[in-house]
Amino acid sequence: MPVLGAGEAVKHQMGGQVDLTYTGAVWSGPAAFTEAGVAPADIQYVSIYDSFTITVLITLEDLGFCPKGQGGKFVADGNLISGTGRLPFNTDGGGLCNNHPANRGGLTKVVEAVRQLRGEAHPKVQVKDCHLALAHGTGGSLGTRHGSATLIMERD
Amino acid sequence: MATQERKIPAPEANPETRPFWEAATAGRLLIGTCKACGKPHYYPRALCPFCGSDATEWVAASGRGAVYSYSVMRRLPVPYALAYVTLDEGVTMMTNIVDCNLDTIRVGQRVRLIFKPTEGGPPVPMFTPETS
């Protein structure tokens, strides 16, 4: 599956300028989108590392899928539900239901994104004609120091 | 939730951090500042995290600040409140809020410095509500 764009970043305590309202995705996301030449509105499926609820909410905002502070509303409005929402998300069940902690982290996110692009996801959650997907991983501890990685892939 | 004292492992000083722990033993909290760019930083270190200069120096913090965020660790034999406190000097440090009812801690609450003993090492800087 061709990679269109990728970005990596680290965030830490920033010399004491601590701000818990954003993650390294504010840097890795734009790098990946710029390289790919696409915008968040173009993405048809996302896999986002989901260690905790707040991890997903902040990452959705940082990647530009909704305005800052609107992550909760974006999710509550059903946007992540495949078939009806505008941004189908973690259709493998995510970390809680499928693959954490035995296979935590980024690679499982890539696996499901590739399944979606190949049309090999579970029929109940397969995104119709999915050709552009994003996978995002977070490693470390969100509140102290972590690494962020964004991958945008396109089906041939 | 009542506050109990929990055992705190002794911090290990190294040549870069020894002045910090010596000051702590004397009841003072040191932060770093940079003579090149003028910005305060925490944790203190030999090279400025903002401009890379080695013209850093230690300054004593006022010991006053406000709770930036916190989380009470409840599933432990001795619960405690992990917190980020923003000092009046403008840097935010990870610490604990102690000597208070942990259910009353609030974001933005004014706190003051207090040192807590460790197991055989220098004391560690923590904070308690100004009113307590």
Closest chain B residue to A20, measured at CA: B69
Identify which of A15, A20, A143 has the shortest CB distance to residue B41: A15
**Cβ-based contacts under 8 A for chains A and B:** 32
Question: How far is A44 from A41, CA to CA, in rounded Å?
Answer: 8
Residue A113: what pLDDT? 98
Residue B57: what pLDDT? 95
Residue B1 has pLDDT above 70, yes or no: no
In chain B, where the domains are located: 18-129
pLDDT band at residue B5 using 50, 70 and 90 as cut-offs: confident
- CB of B66 within 8 Å of any CB in chain A? no
Residue A99: what pLDDT? 80
SS3 B71: strand
Residue A71 has pLDDT above 60, yes or no: yes
Q: Token digits for B1?
A: 């939730």
Average pLDDT over residues B105-125: 97
Residue A106: what pLDDT? 80
CA–chain centroid gap for B1, Å, is 22
Among candidate residues B121, B127, B116, the one with its CA nearest the CA of residue B22 = B121
For the stretch A78-113, pLDDT in tens is 999 999 999 999 999 998 888 887 776 788 999 999
Q: Which numeric CATH code is attached to B18-129? A: 2.40.50.840
For the stretch B60-79, pLDDT in tens is 999 999 999 999 999 999 99
Whether ipTM > 0.90 holds is no
Residue A66 has pLDDT above 60, yes or no: yes
> How close, in Å, is residue A21 to chain B by CA atoms?
11
Enclosing domain of residue A72: 3-154
Handedness of CA B6, B114, B91, B15 (dihedral sign): negative
Average pLDDT over residues A7-13: 96
With a CB cutoff of 8 Å and minimum separation 6, the contacts of B78 are: B4, B5, B6
